Amino acid sequence: MSDTGLQGRRIILGVSGGIAAYKSADLVRRLREVGADVRVVMTRAATEFVTPLTFQAVSGQPVHTSLLDSDAEAAMGHIELARWAEAVLIAPASADLLARLAVGRADDLLTTLVLATEAPLAVAPAMNRVMWSHPAVAANVHVLERRGVAILGPGSGDQACGEQGAGRMLEPLDLVRRLGSLFGPRPLQGKTVVITAGPTREPLDPVRFISNRSSGRMGFALAAAARDAGAAVHLVSGPVSLPTPAGVRRLDVETAGEMHETVMGTLDGCDIFIGCAAVADYRPATVAAGKLKKGDQRMQVDMERNPDILAAVAASSPRPYTVGFAAETDDLQGHAEAKRLAKRLDLIAANLVGVPGSGFEVADNRLWLRWQGGDCWLGPASKEQVASELIAFIAERFNRE
């Protein structure tokens, strides 16, 4: 594995009760492979799934399980552990553990240590898909995100219960990479970012719709980059075939009207809004109740304007730092600047479509950024690289203003 930033780092791995605890032994091994010094703290429930002896063998260090261990307190108790750690990763983090962290419980060694440390905290949730989607769990995760806790995952796929969906603990190698980002710059720590992505679909009848060629890849890359910068990310997505970035809250919509309603409902507490979706400007004035049949050589469809999401966000109060996108086929800078001024945006990112290395349905992108008093180019590069650079630029502008 390439440099992760974990060489010589002192990491506490907390293990809570869940079947995914079997992955945590491999996680210890992977952390040690990249040069981290690992100490393991287990909840009592965790010891029912994997024995402390297993973790002692792979870590080469004693395993800590009890808050009221007189021998541990004489050597490295919860205060000593808390001061020793440079980062705390809890993997797996069960629904119960997330709830106890959210309310500040300190009823075992692991939760007490979390309250006593000043080291950054990351959790890797692992639970059944229905539990992960429960409003109580979502509320607890939101509380932790607002406190700056890094939520690593969960992933999606087969679950131990035989079901499929979101709730799987991320794989050890992925967790090692994500944990390394805690030691890099996190300029959006504690901030909330709302991002729109993908196309919208405006129905003509129950079968047909009007849409565009957006794949959503740029918006999803921005969501992952904002997450890595420390933000709590809400991704409002039109219909796309992309996996949700781990640790990002995804809200699926179809029409521009649905996207407008969802975005406006997520603005409470929003610090930065990035409108990356290719939203349809118009929709059919009427939607046929049944499938439209062939008739004359021409068919006329009356269209009406959709709500302007970017303008509505920019006009909201309190107003988030508002970033818009402009996909153009000509006069890129002129059209983009006119859009920025008309919608009163803080920043606009514009790209040409229909040309190699930029726009829809391609892996790369090139953006022209324009703000009051300046402009610059990003790329050409992969959409993931451009997204990372754009989020860093937005964070710098936001924190400066």
The span from the CA of 127 to the CA of 132, in Å, is 6
- Tell me the CATH class for 192-287+299-400: alpha beta
Q: What percent of the chain has pLDDT over 90?
A: 64
In this structure, CATH architecture of domain 10-183: 3-Layer(aba) Sandwich (3.40)
The mean pLDDT of 237-262, rounded to a whole number, is 92
Answer whether 0.75 is exceeded by the pTM: no
The span from the CA of 217 to the CA of 234, in Å, is 15
Task: Tell me which residue of 241, 253, 249 sits closest to 215, measured CA to CA.
Answer: 241
pLDDT (tens digit, 9 = 90+) per residue, 11-65?
999 999 999 999 999 999 999 999 999 999 999 999 999 999 999 999 999 999 8
- Which among 161, 270, 276, 376 is annotated as catalytic? 161
Region of poorest pLDDT, from 111-125, 143-157, 257-271, 379-393:
143-157
**Would you state the structure tokens that stand for residue 283, as one six-digit string?**
């929709």
The span from the CA of 314 to the CA of 308, in Å, is 10
Would you say 167 and 132 are in contact if contact means Cβ atoms under 8 Å apart?
Answer: yes
Task: Tell me which residue of 8, 400, 40 sits closest to 183, measured CA to CA.
Answer: 8
The span from the CA of 233 to the CA of 99, in Å, is 20
Count of Cβ atoms closer than 10 Å to residue 178 Cβ: 22
Are the folds of 10-183 and 192-287+299-400 the same?
yes
Q: How far is CA 158 from the centre of its chain?
A: 21
pLDDT (tens digit, 9 = 90+) per residue, 290-328?
998 888 778 889 999 999 999 999 999 999 999 999 999
Domain residue ranges of the chain, discontinuous segments joined by +:
10-183, 192-287+299-400
pLDDT (tens digit, 9 = 90+) per residue, 254-298?
999 999 999 999 999 999 999 999 999 999 999 999 998 888 778
Residue 379: predicted pLDDT: 84
The span from the CA of 290 to the CA of 252, in Å, is 25
Count of Cβ atoms closer than 10 Å to residue 362 Cβ: 15
Residue 1: predicted pLDDT: 47
Residue 7: predicted pLDDT: 86
Q: What SS3 state is found at 140?
A: helix
pLDDT (tens digit, 9 = 90+) per residue, 58-107?
999 999 988 776 555 444 556 788 889 889 999 999 999 999 999 999 98
Instruction: Respond yes or no: is residue 161 known to be catalytic.
Output: yes
Dihedral angle computed from the Cα positions of residues 66, 70, 74 and 78, in that order, rounded to the nearest 10 degrees: 30
The span from the CA of 369 to the CA of 32, in Å, is 42
Geometric angle at alpha carbon 273, from 272 and 279, rounded to 5°: 170
The CA radius of gyration of the chain, in Å to the nearest whole number, is 24
Give the count of alpha carbons within 13 A of 228, CB side only: 23
Geometric angle at alpha carbon 101, from 110 and 44, rounded to 5°: 35
Count of Cβ atoms closer than 10 Å to residue 317 Cβ: 5
Residue 228: predicted pLDDT: 82
